[in-house]
């Protein structure tokens, strides 16, 4: 038996928006059902990814920034290193204008986003998570049993305007990298009673890292609707040494990060988290 932080549907964050069950809600629900069961997800995702790499797609950057907000453009630069973004994908995969401090001692958040769920495994190697009325084993997310040294699981949702590069949360050695093929369902928590659901079924890349402190961490980088791919940096290979805050890779659209950790976060569900900041400032 595991203890789960409050995961009732009404407690799952909605991007700061209170959802009323009006026309917009039902339109989004119909979209979600169509995407899940009718639309050829991978074909549409490939076509969308190709379009978003064209020069014409950059026309959406500023309107989205004005509509959704939350992006300080001065803090970033185009992934292409140009003066301005050559496409929407160039914006989506943007880089930080200044580097994060590398090699810090505390466990860091691996990405920007919204803390969607937290689970304590109480030392169980294959704890169960309730998904759509079924108890699924959490180790299915990572393709490996959860080590007793990392008894907490955190789930981070990255919104469309978040910084979509993933960084190492710790100093350590990459033990293995696994790529799981799967669906490309949306990861937005508005559509789910259980935020972990996409982590079980979507395409994902899982890194297993042995930290300098001896803990064995798993980090699943999960794709989503319209995800072109999950790209790991060339030097991120089994046996590679990682330093905390070192960039690991990035998403080409769509994103969720699910990670085991030795300590619980000092954030609560619904809080925003910032890449490079301490997961638990007191530990």
Q: What is the pLDDT of residues 189-203, one digit of tens each?
A: 555 555 666 666 678
**Pairwise CA distance, residues 109 & 170, whole Å:** 9
**Pairwise CA distance, residues 158 & 272, whole Å:** 10
Q: Residue 58: CB partners within 8 Å, gap ≥ 6? A: 85, 86, 87, 88, 90, 91
Task: Look at 48-62, 85-99, 125-139, 154-168 and tell me which has the smallest mean pLDDT.
Answer: 125-139
Q: Residue 226: CB partners within 8 Å, gap ≥ 6? A: 44, 45, 48, 49, 184, 253, 254
Q: Enter the tokens of residue 278.
A: 């301490």
Task: Look at 6-10, 38-42, 51-55, 180-184 and tell me which has the smallest mean pLDDT.
Answer: 6-10
Q: Residue 164: CB partners within 8 Å, gap ≥ 6? A: 92, 93, 94, 111, 158, 250, 251, 255
258: left (phi over 0), alpha (psi -120 to 50) or beta: beta
- Whole-angstrom CA distances from 238 to 74, 173, 210 are 35, 8, 11
Q: Enter the tokens of residue 64.
A: 């989205």
All CATH 2.70.70 domain ranges in the chain, comma separated: 101-264
**Pairwise CA distance, residues 236 & 230, whole Å:** 13
> Is 143's pLDDT higher than 50?
yes
For residue 154, the Cα-to-chain-centroid distance in whole angstroms is 10
According to the model, what pLDDT value does residue 9 have? 35
Q: Which of 25, 279, 16 is nearest to 153 (CA)?
A: 279
> Is 247's pLDDT higher than 60?
yes
* CATH of region 101-264: 2.70.70
According to the model, what pLDDT value does residue 281 have? 82
Mean pLDDT to the nearest integer, 30-36: 54
Please, which pLDDT band fits residue 18 given cuts at 50, 70 and 90? Answer: very low
According to the model, what pLDDT value does residue 5 have? 42
**Pairwise CA distance, residues 255 & 198, whole Å:** 10
Strands (E), 49-139: 76-77, 95-96, 113-120, 128-131, 134-137
Place of tokens 């900041």: 277
Q: Residue 148: CB partners within 8 Å, gap ≥ 6? A: 123, 125
Predicted TM-score of the model (pTM): 0.80
């Amino acid at each position: 038996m595991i203890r789960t932080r409050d995961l009732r549907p009404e407690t799952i964050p909605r991007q700061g928006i209170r959802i009323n069950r009006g026309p917009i809600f039902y339109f989004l629900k119909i979209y979600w059902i169509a995407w899940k069961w009718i639309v050829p997800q991978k074909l549409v995702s490939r076509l969308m990814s190709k379009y978003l790499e064209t020069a014409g797609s950059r026309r959406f950057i500023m309107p989205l920034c004005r509509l959704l907000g939350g992006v300080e453009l001065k803090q970033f630069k185009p992934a292409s290193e140009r003066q301005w973004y050559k496409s929407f994908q160039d914006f989506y995969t943007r880089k930080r204008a200044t580097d994060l401090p590398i090699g810090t001692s505390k466990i860091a958040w691996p990405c920007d986003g919204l803390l969607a769920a937290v689970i304590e495994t109480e030392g169980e190697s294959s704890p169960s998570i309730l998904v759509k009325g079924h108890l699924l084993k959490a180790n299915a997310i990572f393709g490996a049993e959860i080590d007793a040294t990392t008894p907490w699981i955190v789930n981070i949702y990255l919104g469309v305007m978040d910084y979509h590069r993933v960084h190492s949360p710790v100093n350590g050695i990459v033990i293995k990298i696994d790529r799981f093929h799967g669906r490309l369902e949306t990861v937005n928590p508005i559509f789910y009673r259980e935020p972990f659901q996409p982590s079980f079924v979507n395409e994902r890349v899982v890194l297993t890292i042995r930290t300098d402190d001896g803990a064995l961490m798993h980090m699943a980088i999960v794709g989503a609707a319209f995800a072109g791919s999950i790209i790991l940096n060339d030097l991120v290979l089994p046996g590679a040494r990682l330093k905390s805050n070192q960039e690991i890779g990035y998403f080409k659209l769509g994103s969720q990060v699910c990670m085991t950790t030795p300590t619980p976060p000092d954030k609560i569900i619904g809080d925003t988290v910032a890449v490079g900041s301490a997961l638990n400032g007191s530990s």
